[in-house]
């Protein structure tokens, strides 16, 4: 008998979006390059190689987020110990909403996420670094 899911992704997203700051593209672009802001790219390495990246963004694969944030973790990263505003993004804004909510619950502050994620960022004409040359990966 299959499991009966009692806490849906839709519920998680509604809870997250009710408690975190969501930046529109203009707000997010205005923060790019500021020394007191760290953009955190949650996409997996294949997504970065295929789609490109936001200049200066710190890459944190979603599966490592909790471990990299917690200073008591053996995997803690110094980037999350800095006094900055943390702007999370993923491909479309779903993983980043959940991640910002979790990071905020862990005590990381201030946090926000980009509405529409990297896809919306790129589509808007905001600055981005192009994808890696696939031919270069063959050698």
**pLDDT band (50, 70, 90) for residue 139:** very low
Reading the block at residue 9, the tokens are 């992704």
Q: Which of 22, 17, 91 is nearest to 53 (CA)?
A: 91
Give the C-alpha separation, 48 to 89, whole Å.
12
For residue 138, is pLDDT > 50? Answer: no
Query: What is residue 132's predicted lDDT score, i.e. its pLDDT?
Result: 77
Q: What is the mean pLDDT of residues 1-28?
A: 97
Top-confidence residue, 133 or 9 = 9
Q: Which CATH class is domain 9-125?
A: alpha beta
- By the 10 Å C-beta count (0-12 exposed, 13-18 middle, 19+ buried), 51 is classed as middle
Model confidence band, residue 137 (pLDDT cutoffs 50, 70, 90): low
Residue pLDDT, tens place only, 29-52 = 999 999 999 999 999 999 999 999
Q: Taking residues 62-76, what's their average pLDDT?
A: 98
Domain ranges of the chain: 9-125
- Read off the pLDDT of each residue in 46-69 and give the average, rounded to a whole number: 97
Task: Provide the whole-model pTM.
Answer: 0.93
CA–centroid distance for 113 within its chain = 7
Contact yes or no for 43/90 (Cβ under 8 A): yes
DSSP per position, 98-115: HHHHHHHHHT--SEEEET
Whether residue 127 contacts residue 55, with contact meaning beta carbons closer than 8 Å, is answered with: yes
Q: Average pLDDT of 53-67?
A: 98
- Residue-wise pLDDT tens digits, 88-136: 999 999 999 999 999 999 999 999 999 999 999 999 999 999 997 665 4
């Amino acid at each position: 008998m299959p499991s009966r899911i009692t806490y849906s992704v839709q519920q998680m997203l509604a809870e997250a979006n009710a408690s975190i700051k969501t930046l529109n593209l203009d707000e997010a672009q205005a923060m790019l390059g500021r020394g007191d802001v760290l953009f955190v790219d949650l996409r997996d390495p294949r997504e970065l190689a295929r789609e490109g990246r936001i200049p200066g963004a710190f890459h944190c694969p979603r599966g490592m987020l909790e471990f990299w944030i917690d200073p008591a973790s053996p995997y803690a990263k110094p980037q999350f110990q800095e006094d900055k505003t943390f702007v999370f993004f993923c491909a479309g804004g779903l993983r980043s909403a959940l991640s910002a909510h979790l990071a905020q619950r862990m005590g990381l502050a201030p946090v926000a996420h980009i509405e529409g994620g990297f896809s919306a960022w790129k589509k808007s004409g905001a600055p981005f670094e192009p994808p890696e040359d696939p031919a270069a990966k063959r050698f």
